[in-house]
Chain A
Amino acid sequence: MLNAMTPPLQALAVSRLAGFPTFLRANGFAVGGGDAVQVLRTAERVGVLDPQVLRISLQALLCGRADEWRRFPELFDAWFLPPNRWQRPQRRDAERGLSGEASGGAHDGSGERDDDSARPRRTASRDARLSSTDFRALTEREHALEIEALMRRFARQLKPIRLRRQRHARAGRQLDLPTTIRRSVASGGTPFRLAWRDRRRVRPRLVLLIDVSRSMALYSFFYLRLARALSAEWADVASFIFHTGITAVSQALHDPDPWRAQERLHLMAQGFGGGTRIGECLARFNREHAPRLVHARTAIVVMSDGYDTGDPQLLSQALAQLKRRARRIVWLNPLANQASYAPLSQGMQAALPHLDLLAPGGDLASIRAVLPQLIDALH
C-alpha cells in the first residue's frame, strides 16, 4: 500500500538514501550495491518524514548480524541527521585510504610472484628449512608469503573429515528404502537384500584460541595465517583472539581479501588494553562461546606463551571447566622451542594439570608434528 501522504522523493533525498548502503559498507557492513534499490523502495513505502520509523525499517533491511544491529542506529544518525558528528565520514575516508593501500599491497604481491617465476624453483630443502625456522626470524615479507603457502599446503594435506548425513550400514535402526528398492531390481522387484541407515556422529570441530598480546606479537601474525589456512580447508574451525578480551575472528578470517582480513583483525584487537588475562578470557569463552561451540568431538588449541597478568587460579578453573566439555586441550607455546624452556611461569603452572599436551609451537614443523595426531584423536 503506497503512502499517499509521502511527497515524491526529492532528488537530494534520493541521492542521500542511495548513498547509505555504500556508507555502511565502508563501515564493515555486508551490504551490496543492489541494496540501494531496496533502500529506495523501502523509503517509498515507509516515507521519509518520520526518521524513527525509517530507521527501524532500514535496520531490518540492511543489518545481517547482531553486531551490525547494534552499530546501526549510530551510523544512521551520522548519515541522515544534521551534521552533529562528522567522525564517521572521516573514518570512511580513512578506510578508503586503507583499501587503496590494500590494493597496492596486492599488486606488490603479484609483482613478487612474477619475479618468482624467473628464479630457480624453490627446492624441498628450502621449504624444510623455512618450516623449521622460528616464526620470529621470518621478518622478511617474502618469507611471510612463502610460509603462508606452506601453511596452506599443510592444511590441505591434513586428513579431510568427510561425513555423510546418514551412513549406509550393514545393520541399523532405519530401513534405507531407496537403496532397498534399487537392489530389489536384481530380484525382480522382491526386496531380498535390505539396506539400512545409521545416524552419523557429530562432526569434529577445531577451536583455535590465539593470544595476540604484545609478548606474542611476533608469533600471533603467523598463527592467524595458520588459522586462516585451516579454516579455508576445513568446514568446522572456529578461531578466537584474546589478550585482555576475547573476540571471535572466524568471520574476519574468511574475508577473501587477505589484506582486508588483516586490517579487520587489527581493528578488532585494537580495543583491548595492555597485559594478558588468559584466565579471564578463557572464562569468558566458557561462558559465551563454549556452550554452543564445544562438544565431545572438539579439540581446543591454545596458542600462547603463557605470560598471564591475571589470576592463575581463574585460569586453572576455566581450563578445568573447558576440559569437561572438550575432547582434547592442546597448548602450543612458541617459547617451548627453546631447549632451555621449562613451563615455570605462573600461567603455565596453573594450566599444566588440565592440558592433554603442551607442545612447542614456534615453527611450522612443530605444529606439523602435533596437529595431525590431534585430528586423528577426533575421529
Chain B
Amino acid sequence: MTSARAIELAALQQDLARAGYIAEPPLAAALLLMQDLQRPLLLEGDAGVGKTEVAKVLAEIRQTRLIRLQCYEGLDAHAAMYEWNYQRQLLAIKLLEHDERGLQQKEQDIFSERYLLKRPLLEAITGEQAPVLLIDEIDRADEAFEAYLLELLSDFQLSIPELGTVRATQRPWVVITSNGTRELSDALRRRCLYQYIDYPDYDKELAIVRKKAPEVALALAQQIVAFVQGVRRIELQKRPGIAETLDWTAALLRLDISRIDVDGAERILDTLSALIKTRDDRAAFPREVVARLAAAC
C-alpha cells in the first residue's frame, strides 16, 4: 500500500536526485520530519560519506541560502554568534569626541547594529527567509560551545547584552554533522533528529558516480565502483569515501584509462594516491593486491 507519505518521500528523493544527491529513503524521511517537527538534524558517519553535502543540497532544493559554521577546537561565542566591531568603535569614539550630542546618544550610536559583526548563528536567525544552517563537525568544538548551542536550538533566540534579545524571524533548517572525534552530549542528541550515514553500497555508489561523472562509460563506472567496494573491505586506517571515489574516477579519466584489468595494474597503482591517503595504508597495496582486486572487477 502506498500512503500519501510514501509518495511525498519519493517526490523528495527525486528532487534530491535532480540536485545531484542520491538519498536513501531513511534520509528523505528524516528531512521531511525536520519540516514537520522543526527539529535540527544530526548526521553522523565516517569522513567522506557525504554529510556536508546533505546541507548543501537541502539549501538548493528549498531554494534558500546556506550558512555554514565550521567548528574547530577553541571556537567561541564571538566567532559563532556576534562580535562588536572594535576597530570601528574605537574610530567612532575618536570622531565623536568633538560631537555636540549627549553622552547617551553617542553611546547608543556606538552600540548600534552598524557596529555589530554578524557571525553565522546570528545571521541564520535574522534573515528574511529561513536559511539552511550547517554546523559542520560539531565534535571539534568543545563541550562549552555545545551547551551554548543548545540554548539557541531550543529557543531560537540570542541575547546581546548591549542590544537586547534577538528573536528568530524564521526558524532555520539546522543540519549538524559529526565525525565522532568526541562523544556528543545526550542533551544535544535528544533535541535532534538523527541519521547515521554509512558507506554507500554498490548500487548507490554506482548511481552517484553516474550522476557526478556522466562522461564515464557505464562499464568503467561499474568497474570503478566494484574496485572501491573491494578496497573498503580491506582493513585500512582510512577507508576511501565517496569523494575519494570521484577523485579517483577523475584521475582515471585524465590518464585515459578506460578499463580496469590485471594488465593495467601498474597504471592503476599510479593513480591510487587519489584513493589511499596514508602511508601505512599504501603499504597494504602492493602490486599483487591491486591485480587481485582488478581481476575481481
Residues on A with C-beta less than 8 A from B142 are 165, 203
| A268 CB, min distance to chain B CBs, angstroms | 15
The SS class assigned to the A binding surface is helix
- A202–B180 Cα distance when bound, in Å, is 17
B76, A235: Cβ atoms closer than 8 Å: no
B33, A181: Cβ atoms closer than 8 Å: no
Tell me, yes or no, whether A191 is within 8 Å of chain B by CB: yes
Using A42-B36, A65-B189, A165-B74 as known contacts, say yes or no to A53 and B86 having CB atoms under 8 A apart.
no
| A242 CB, min distance to chain B CBs, angstroms | 17
Interface residues in A186-204 (C-beta closer than 8 Å to B): 189, 191, 199-200, 202-203
The 8 Å CB contact of A50, one of B5, B44, B190, B194, is B5
| Segment of B22-30, B98-106, B121-129, B212-220 in the binding face | B22-30
B90, A181: Cβ atoms closer than 8 Å: yes
Tell me, yes or no, whether B61 is within 8 Å of chain A by CB: no
Residue of B nearest to A50 (CB): B3
Tell me, yes or no, whether B4 is within 8 Å of chain A by CB: yes
Tell me, yes or no, whether A64 is within 8 Å of chain B by CB: yes
- A46–B89 Cα distance when bound, in Å, is 52
User: Interface code A13-50, partner B: CB below 8 Å = 1, 0 otherwise?
Assistant: 00000000000000000111000001001100111011
Residues on B with C-beta less than 8 A from A345 are none
Interface residues in B1-38 (C-beta closer than 8 Å to A): 1-6, 9, 25-26, 29-30, 32-33, 36-37
B4, A3: Cβ atoms closer than 8 Å: yes
Which of B4, B73, B195, B236 has the most chain A CB atoms closer than 10 A to its own CB?
Answer: B4
Which of B5, B25, B190, B238 has the most chain A CB atoms closer than 10 A to its own CB?
Answer: B5
Tell me, yes or no, whether A292 is within 8 Å of chain B by CB: yes
A250, B26: Cβ atoms closer than 8 Å: no
The 8 Å CB contact of A53, one of B5, B37, B76, B179, is B5
Tell me, yes or no, whether A69 is within 8 Å of chain B by CB: yes
B194, A65: Cβ atoms closer than 8 Å: yes
Residue of A nearest to B280 (CB): A321
The 8 Å CB contact of A64, one of B36, B86, B143, B190, is B190
- A65–B182 Cα distance when bound, in Å, is 12
Residue of B nearest to A200 (CB): B74
| Segment of A55-63, A79-87, A91-99, A133-141 in the binding face | A55-63
| A193 CB, min distance to chain B CBs, angstroms | 14
- A165–B73 Cα distance when bound, in Å, is 8
B238, A291: Cβ atoms closer than 8 Å: yes
Using A56-B29, A235-B143 as known contacts, say yes or no to A45 and B235 having CB atoms under 8 A apart.
no
A50, B1: Cβ atoms closer than 8 Å: yes
B4, A47: Cβ atoms closer than 8 Å: yes
Residue of A nearest to B278 (CB): A291
B29, A60: Cβ atoms closer than 8 Å: yes
| B123 CB, min distance to chain A CBs, angstroms | 21
Tell me, yes or no, whether B296 is within 8 Å of chain A by CB: no
Residues on A with C-beta less than 8 A from B195 are 60, 69
Using A4-B4, A56-B25 as known contacts, say yes or no to A69 and B196 having CB atoms under 8 A apart.
yes
Tell me, yes or no, whether B186 is within 8 Å of chain A by CB: yes
Tell me, yes or no, whether A66 is within 8 Å of chain B by CB: yes
A61, B33: Cβ atoms closer than 8 Å: yes
B33, A64: Cβ atoms closer than 8 Å: no
Using A60-B30, A199-B74 as known contacts, say yes or no to A42 and B37 having CB atoms under 8 A apart.
yes
| B139 CB, min distance to chain A CBs, angstroms | 8
A41, B37: Cβ atoms closer than 8 Å: yes
Tell me, yes or no, whether B246 is within 8 Å of chain A by CB: no
B194, A30: Cβ atoms closer than 8 Å: no
Residues on A with C-beta less than 8 A from B2 are 50
Residues on B with C-beta less than 8 A from A340 are none
Tell me, yes or no, whether A177 is within 8 Å of chain B by CB: yes
Tell me, yes or no, whether A156 is within 8 Å of chain B by CB: no
The 8 Å CB contact of A65, one of B6, B44, B90, is B44
Using A52-B25, A166-B74 as known contacts, say yes or no to A178 and B183 having CB atoms under 8 A apart.
no
Residues on B with C-beta less than 8 A from A30 are 186, 189-190
Residues on A with C-beta less than 8 A from B76 are 165-166
Residues on A with C-beta less than 8 A from B94 are 189
| B278 CB, min distance to chain A CBs, angstroms | 9
The 8 Å CB contact of A45, one of B36, B74, B236, is B36
The 8 Å CB contact of B29, one of A6, A53, A64, is A53
- A30–B87 Cα distance when bound, in Å, is 47
Tell me, yes or no, whether A344 is within 8 Å of chain B by CB: no
Residues on A with C-beta less than 8 A from B1 are 49-50
| B140 CB, min distance to chain A CBs, angstroms | 10
Interface residues in B87-139 (C-beta closer than 8 Å to A): 87, 89-90, 93-94
User: Interface code B179-202, partner A: CB below 8 Å = 1, 0 otherwise?
Assistant: 111010010011011111000000
| A140 CB, min distance to chain B CBs, angstroms | 34
| B18 CB, min distance to chain A CBs, angstroms | 21
- A31–B190 Cα distance when bound, in Å, is 7
A292, B5: Cβ atoms closer than 8 Å: no
Tell me, yes or no, whether B237 is within 8 Å of chain A by CB: yes
User: Interface code A284-302, partner B: CB below 8 Å = 1, 0 otherwise?
Assistant: 0011000111000000000
Residues on A with C-beta less than 8 A from B41 are 60
Tell me, yes or no, whether A251 is within 8 Å of chain B by CB: yes
Residues on A with C-beta less than 8 A from B42 are 64
Residues on B with C-beta less than 8 A from A63 are 194, 196
Interface residues in B230-252 (C-beta closer than 8 Å to A): 235-238
B5, A47: Cβ atoms closer than 8 Å: yes
- A119–B193 Cα distance when bound, in Å, is 52
B194, A69: Cβ atoms closer than 8 Å: yes
The 8 Å CB contact of B3, one of A3, A42, A65, A178, is A3
Residues on B with C-beta less than 8 A from A321 are 280
Extra contacts, 17 of them, besides A64-B192, A165-B74 (Cβ < 8 A), are A30-B186, A30-B189, A42-B33, A50-B2, A53-B3, A53-B9, A53-B29, A56-B26, A56-B29, A57-B30, A60-B29, A64-B190, A66-B180, A70-B196, A189-B93, A292-B181, A293-B181
**A-B pairs, 4 with minimum CB distance:** A60-B30, A64-B189, A177-B86, A69-B196
- Can you report 11 A-B residue pairs in the complex whose CB atoms are below 8 A from each other? A5-B3, A38-B37, A46-B3, A47-B3, A50-B5, A60-B29, A63-B196, A165-B74, A166-B74, A178-B86, A321-B280
